[in-house]
Structure 1
Amino acid sequence: MTSMKQPIRIGLTAVAALLAACSDPADVTSPDRNAPASIALTTSVMASQASVVQLKVQSAYLRQGGTTVDIGTQTITLSDVPTQQVPISIDLAACLADDSRAGLTAGTGSTGAALPPADDECVVRLLVDLVLDGAAVDRQTVGPISLSPGVQKTVTAPIALNEVGTVRIDAPSANVVAAGQPLRMEITRTMQLAGVVLDGAARVITGRTVNWSSSAPGVMTVNANGLVTAVTTGTATITAQTAGRVTTVVVRSVPLPAALTIVSTSTSGQATVRSAPAGIDCTVNGSVLTGTCAFTFPGDASVVLTTTPAALSELLSWTNDCSAAIGTTCTIATSQARTVGVSLRAFRTLTITGTGNGTGSITSPAGLNCVITAGITSGNCSINVTDGSSVTLTASATSPNSFRAWSGDCASSTGNTCTLTMNTNRAPGARFDAPVLLTATPSGTGNGSILASGVISCTRSSNVNTGTCSSSVTFGNLVTLTASAGSFSTFIGWTGACTGSATTCQVTMDQARAVGATFTRLTGTVTFSLTGSGTGGVSVNGTTLCTKTPAFTSIGCSIILDLGSVVSLLAQPGANTGFVGYSGSLCSGSSLPCAFTLTGNAGVGLAFGPLASIVTVSAGANSTGGGTVSTSDVSLNCAFAGQSTTGVCGKTVSGGGSITLTATGNANSTLSAWGGACSAFRFDPVCTFTPSSNVSVTARFVPAVTFNLSVYGGAGSRVNITSPTQNSSCLASIGNCAYKLVIGETVRLEAAPGADDFFSGWSAPCQEMSGPICTIVATVNTTSGQSYFYSGSGIAPPPLIKKQGGVPQ
């Protein structure tokens, strides 16, 4: 119906009177106990356009104990008159006949139980329905009212009857999930529902009571005011009812919100964990978590977690409350607190770098095979391996190159292998070097060698280098070089990559190296001394060094030459001069030339004199005795007998050379005088001279007697003997002296006592002499004589006893 009538205000009356407990009716007394009671009330009716508008009144009395008993139903058809009087009568006969009927005015007894009603009292409740075209659209309850037979009760409060279309249940928006979905609430929580009564035109009808009920009070309860309390999880239907109109709503009680926490059971690897619905947005980096890694979800949520590993990471597994999940997603209910772990593993990158100028390769069982050429890498030089794994690298040089060293993450490794634990990205480096050239160059005027074991053996001799003077050496090797001077040479110092003057030098072969060593020839000074009466010079190795002239008795000069060199000397006699000979240890004799090897400072003497001379020996005038004149080497040995000579009586003496002649008389002869070239030596038996030309020597031998002289006394006493052929002394310390005296010559004897002696006397032939001087003439009988000295020390001389012959006894 689209139109509504104006409100109809209807007054209802009955024969019997009813007193309403909740209202204030006025009592009207009836004397007839069997007469029906009547009730008067005012009803306001709001109804849409309808063909038939009726009121349906149902009466029931109340019994003690709370039950009710129907006592009649009336249907009253209303006209469209705004105000109508409608009689309502109620027959109380059945009620009054019931001894268990309840009373309203009697009150309660001392026990608290309801008291019996008054004798003529019935307590009645009316249900008044508004019926439009046969359909009840509203209901109101009137009473309970205490009625008595024949009495009219008037209910002063008006009763509103409206055309009730429906009851709408309004819920808090927080509990509304979606249209057509059950309401949602969490256990232990409450939800306030509102019952809104609407008429047929969907207009709100106020002042109506809505009755509430729950289909499952064990799951959730609802009180009279529509407050729903969730007891446990589950589902219940909540019903709102009024005026015969019933509306229901399904409510689902869910667990309380619960926290979902992400944890890491990883030591490496990186990933993001996100949730649907949104809430979790967590970054896992090894054992470190950042972002939103814990979130409280509704207790009935089904959360889908998705792990997205970063590059070079992988998901090993879910753990904790997702331990059964496979793949990158896990669906989990948040009906309670949940902990979800992810176990990740990183892949670590190993990248090879190269240095050096050589060639080699780095390999590993993990699949690495990297070639390094002059620091440039090629091949498989970068691999990804699982975190924590161990990778062993092996460096292999390509011949003749060499592996030098590791660098980067392998810098602490020695040898050609390096083992890395891949708990982070690694960048090891390897250096390969090509061999480098080591060149050695000896130089200088001397001889010597540069030596390095197994590498260099370079020798310089006579200004020429031979041997191994250059060699390829492994890059980076430390090479020890030794400079060794040769004979007659000395090491001066290093040049090039070596410096200083120590005999050893170390070079690191981190590039091509050139080393020099300077050797100098040692020198010696040869000093020449030119002597003699002649002129001449000396040449050394073909060059005249110095020359002596007659103005100088001697002259010296010198020359500095390399030790070890051969020195060739040549004496160069001047005009009318002969080379007498060499002196010193290097040259001897007079042979020309002289050559020697110089081993140090040296001196050479050269004598120049006249040319060779012939010395001739002959008997001097008045030579009447016998003897010999000879040289020590008897190259001249001339025998004399009077004026005759036999044997070798001549000798050639080289220029400037000397000759020594010795005159020896025979048993009865003595030399009385030299002549010629030896005349200066008189009667000295030895004559030495240097002839400057051919010369002659004469020797005169004359008869002689041997005179034996004995001297007795202290050590300082002596007898001096002089004659034309003698000039000598005989010492007491010697005792006996023998002299040859030329027969006929005068001989003078002189006694000379020592410091502690006194002259004591002579024996024959001077026994007649008392003084210290005795002069005699030698005869054939002058054969012996004695001289005595008295010692001042108290030693008495032997007694001087003169006997025949003059010999003291």
Structure 2
Amino acid sequence: MSEAQTVTATFTAKPITYKLSVSKVGTGSVKSDPSGINCGSDCVASFDKGKVVTLTATAASGYSFGGWSGACSNTSGTCSVSMASAKTVTATFIVAAPVNYQLTVKKTGSGSVNSDPNGINCGSNCSANFESGSAVILTAEPASGYEFNRWSGCTAFATNPLQCQVDINKAQTVSATFTAAAPTTPVNYQLTVKKTGNGTINSDPNGINCGSNCSANFESGKTITLTAAPAADSTFVSWSGCTAVAANPLQCTVTMSKAQAITATFAVIPTTGGNLTVKTVGNGNVTSDPLGINCGSLCAASFSDRVVTLTALPASGETFVRWNGCIANATNPMQCRVTLTKNLTVTAEFSNKTTLEADIQITNVVLTPVSPSAGKSFTAQITLKNIGNIALTSGSHLEVWASEPSGQSCGAIGDAFADIDQLARNDSTTITVKLIAPIKGMQRLRVFADSQCKMTELSERNNQLVKHYTVN
């Protein structure tokens, strides 16, 4: 101190601040003016007493602003808070209702358009609403005789011009244009059938009936089935130029890739004839076709025809048992066929009334449908009759083959089977089995009653029957 001095001290008032807190419900952000709150990340800030703070809410994508609560209350996007004390504000965001726009498809020509996701099936429904922001893929399918030409109003796929994409951001219209396809002339080739011997040839599909018409034109790529029918005095020998059907040698197939010629060979059956003698065991009668045998009264005759059919007629109370010396008819065991290349003797055996045995005979087979389609199911209704002297009491077994040309032996396993229940004498029963049709063409369904051969019958030669049928 070298002299007297004066010092001045200055004091200022400390500002008063209050805290403003923002909370959120839903998804969005809140900012303040003046700055301080960016909520987002920073939801609390302090402001001077008396300061008016403006909060602004911004909804996230897919949400809308619902309103303020707490220190301010309104539904606008902003609110003002006067900082007279610490304040709390809540901003509520709600999920926004989706915005949908209509997509309409217009067609020119014949065809259909479908959408992914579903909605348009045009055809019947050519417009639908889709959510904004979605991508809709349209697929065109031309009608028969038409081809797809172009899209308009969408982006076609380079890898598949039948498809295009529409990005939904407004109502839009897409055009699909179909145009009539240029007619194509099918390529046809001629199929000619030559015959050696006596018989007829028919084709499937129709065209050849040879008989009268031995050639026809068929479309390229078409498979033709030919069927031979020998005349009464002939037998079918072979095909040449086509593929014989293993299940039916009377048929062959040819695929039309060029003009082709087929040869069908028939051979005449010699008519040497001879003397035929018929003997009967038991009580019954035998007649012949052609006429000559009527045994009862006449048991021998001379025939100029080579093939003679014999029919057995049991007397009242008797049962036909078997033939000896001729070939029994598979579909009618009461008949047999004999081929006369020399003098022959045939025996027809009828049961003795004192023989007490059952005898199951197959009397009828009905198919539903009559001509099934290859690979499809069908049913066979098989009617059986006990023609024996006593009832069948122990039951038996039935096997069925959808295609089996050869006779079967005891224990053979078919395509389907069924049990034959007890059956009184002279009674009939019908059994239905389900089968799968084999390949297309003429087929032979075989039925075998008592296939396990566990019962003794008056006749063991009438247990199998063949039903001819056509598979489409």
Same fold (TM over 0.5): no
Q: Which has the higher contact order (CA 8 A, sep 6+)?
A: 2
TM-score range, shorter chain: under 0.3
- Which has the greater radius of gyration? 1
TM norm structure 2: 0.24
